[in-house]
Structure 1
Amino acid sequence: MFLNTIGVTDKFVRVSLNKIRDSGVVQPDNSGRHIPKNKLPETVRMSVISHISSFPVYESHYSRARSKRKYLGPELNISLMYKLYVEKCKTDNIEQSVIAKEWHYRKIFNEEFNLSFYNPSNDTCDDCDYFLKVLKERRSEEETAAIMAQQKKASRRSRK
């Protein structure tokens, strides 16, 4: 009658009584508190992120106000990038067991990066490409200031 009144089974009562410690307190339920077997270790995740970040990205010139997407070269794809990642891991003598699977690599690429593989339909202008290249090769702060002034001047001309 007691079990029917509170709507539990005798198995529920038995399991609860087995969980009582010597102090009379019921042990906490540990379900869902283990690390999943397919969870990617943080070190492997960070190695994938650093590998993806090592590829040069390009920004769309004309549509950058509308989109924050960056672009990788059209010769790349996720499968090729993964193969390069595996080769890099092998040359660094990393064990096979700590190399990310392709589906992990793909998931990280799709969820943590805003990248695409084709050139944007509105590509960068020649002036911006030139100034970006020169800025990367600069040697001093004075050079940077002079290059930035030239770039502003050129962008004002192109808007007219």
Structure 2
Amino acid sequence: MDAMARTYDHPGEAPAPNPIRLLAIRDTALSVDEVFAAVGDDSAGGTALFVGTVRDHDGGADVAALGYSAHPTAEAELRRVAEKVAADFPVRAMAAVHRVGDLAVGDLAVVVAVSCPHRAEAFAACRRLIDDLKGEVPIWKHQQFADGDEEWVGA
């Protein structure tokens, strides 16, 4: 079922506009405010927001540098994932932005948000959006550690 078909809440009711308001993969700094503003909707009683940041360690090793790369199809895959979530939940508005390029500890790597009629739906849809984004969208993390080791994650 596509996202537009799912948005009928009551027989005879006009469909809601496409709930996907913002999807992007960027090489510039991300904004929580931009993503939060994109999912504002008067019919939503709950908004869930997830922010992923670069941490200073992974697997017990100190992270010295980190970079994200994306396949050219990544934005199309991000849209496919978002459409699936919108079809499975009563999403009023949705946004997801992922960073690529070199990032520093503390930088925002990904910001996703979902607005739904109720909080439980918003939490569930937001979790599914970030989990599916991380599992299905071809974005890879290259970590370099303080001890000289390095690894690719998601490749």
Q: Is the pair's TM-score, using the shorter chain for normalization, greater than 0.5? A: no
Higher helix proportion:
1
TM-score (norm 1): 0.26
**Greater RCO (Cα-Cα under 8 Å, separation 6 or more):** 2
- Give the number of the structure whose residues are more often strand, by fraction: 2
TM-score (norm 2): 0.26
Answer with 1 or 2: which has the greater Rg: 1
